[in-house]
Amino acid sequence: MTRCEIHSRPTARLAIACLLTLSACSAALAQGPEGPPTGDGPYRPSDLVELVTLDPTIKLDIRYATASNFVGRAVYAEPRAFMQRPAAAALVSVQHWLKGQGYGLLIYDAYRPWSVTKLFWDITPQDKRIFVADPAVGSVHNRGCAVDLGLYDLKTGREVDMPGAYDETSERSFVTYTGGTPEQKAHRDLLRKAMERDGSFFVLPEEWWHYDYKDFMAYAIQNIPFSAIRSPAAPAARN
């Protein structure tokens, strides 16, 4: 899931950035009767790349390719993760930095076809729709410029604990949540430090796992199925 809503608890800087994101999207897009919203453009050519082909040490836990998600069934036919090439390259840089800290990236979701965003909206009760993206506006995931992710421990290969679970719709998902153990909060804060250290990504205030790429507005909303995205052979892993 992902929707940018303003609450009182996130920091002012993040709240303002989130509001500007929503305003820009709403002003630029208009949904067609049977398809994704379109904008005025011009947009950069789409160049979706599979993350593991750039760095196979990035681990995947694509929840929407399983029944372990809020829908209760798989909505992706394949457990794959794609982003626009500049965003993917920036994520690989994050992965390399984290290795020096003893951690790696664990991807839950990245590029998401617009039809899946519409499905989320259609099945979500009216009073819960603040937690999902409106298909009339679309999601940054639909542009190939958002990623949902956590961390894994390089020594054990296991996912590390955060103050709240992925896709949890509670205050524990906020990046400003003060509960949880010191270790859980340290993991969440390390992830944020790694993702925001060079300005390529910024966190969604209500979801510790969701990060948007800085240039997301340069790409159009898409509805391309995973099966239609060509991926080159994966390179050898970097040490």
Active-site residue numbers? 207
Contacts of 166 (CB under 8 A, 6+ apart): 63, 108, 148, 150, 209
Task: Tell me if 211 sits within 8 A of 201, measured CB to CB.
Answer: yes
Strands 59-60, 207-213: pairing is unpaired
Residue 15 DSSP label: H
Nearest to 104 by CA among 181, 172, 159: 159
Q: How far apart are CA 43 and CA 82, in angstroms?
A: 18
How far CA 152 is from CA of 21, 122, 160, 193, 225, in Å, comes to: 30, 33, 5, 15, 28
The answer to whether 223 and 114 have CB atoms below 8 angstroms apart is: yes
**Distance from C-alpha of 41 to C-alpha of 235, rounded to nearest angstrom:** 34
Longest dimension (CA), the chain: 50
